[in-house]
């Protein structure tokens, strides 16, 4: 297995996610885009959820083909409106095609090209 790398994100950050995972569970092209997002936002991004196995999703009644099981989606902590705005603005400017907005986090994902461009609220 090829080891994954990221400029701004370490394996320990993925292990603190719910559920815990590894940087090696993610797609390298997605990690590269996540680094670009961090660079554009200009402040550290705290991951709260990254890879979630199809079994994890199924046990919670969720689809097993989403951004997280596809290894191309993360949730990023965003505790205030300014942080949410900065993350969403940068994500859209960088071409992330799937964005979810919650009170405490922003989801960014970029599943393969056959997926819809969407923004949703939790």
The full set of domain ranges for the chain reads 15-121
pLDDT band at 53 (very low <50, low <70, confident <90, very high): very high
Tell which wins on pLDDT, 1 or 94. 94
Check residue 114 and give its pLDDT: 64
pLDDT above 90 covers what percent of the chain?
Answer: 88
77 three-class SS: strand
Give the pairing of strands 98-101 and 118-121. Answer: parallel
Tell which wins on pLDDT, 15 or 114. 15
Task: With 0.85 as the threshold, say if the pTM is over it.
Answer: yes
Mention every residue, 6+ apart, whose C-beta is less than 8 A from residue 85. none
107: β partners? 75, 100
Fold of 15-121: Muramoyl-pentapeptide Carboxypeptidase; domain 2 (3.30.1380)
Quick one: which of 88, 79, 80, 7 has its CA closest to 41?
88
Q: Please state the rounded mean pLDDT for residues 93-120.
A: 90
pLDDT band at 119 (very low <50, low <70, confident <90, very high): very high
pLDDT band at 116 (very low <50, low <70, confident <90, very high): confident
Quick one: which of 62, 26, 35, 48 has its CA closest to 105?
48
Residues 25, 51: Cα–Cα separation, whole Å: 6
pLDDT in tens, 17-35: 999 999 999 999 999 999 9
Q: Please state the rounded mean pLDDT for residues 40-60.
A: 97
The two most distant CA atoms of the chain are separated, in Å, by 39
How many Cα neighbours within 13 Å face the side chain of 38?
17
């Amino acid at each position: 297995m090829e080891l994954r790398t990221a400029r701004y994100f370490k394996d320990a950050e993925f292990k603190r996610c719910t559920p815990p995972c590894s940087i090696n569970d993610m797609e390298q092209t997605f990690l590269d885009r996540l680094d670009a997002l961090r660079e554009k936002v200009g402040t550290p991004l705290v991951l709260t959820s990254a890879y979630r196995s199809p079994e994890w999703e199924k046990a919670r009644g969720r689809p097993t083909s989403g951004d997280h099981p596809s290894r191309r989606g993360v949730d990023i902590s965003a505790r205030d409106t300014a942080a949410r705005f900065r993350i969403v603005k940068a994500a859209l400017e960088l071409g992330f095609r799937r964005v979810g907005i919650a009170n405490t986090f922003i989801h960014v994902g970029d599943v393969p090209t056959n997926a819809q461009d969407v923004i949703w609220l939790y």
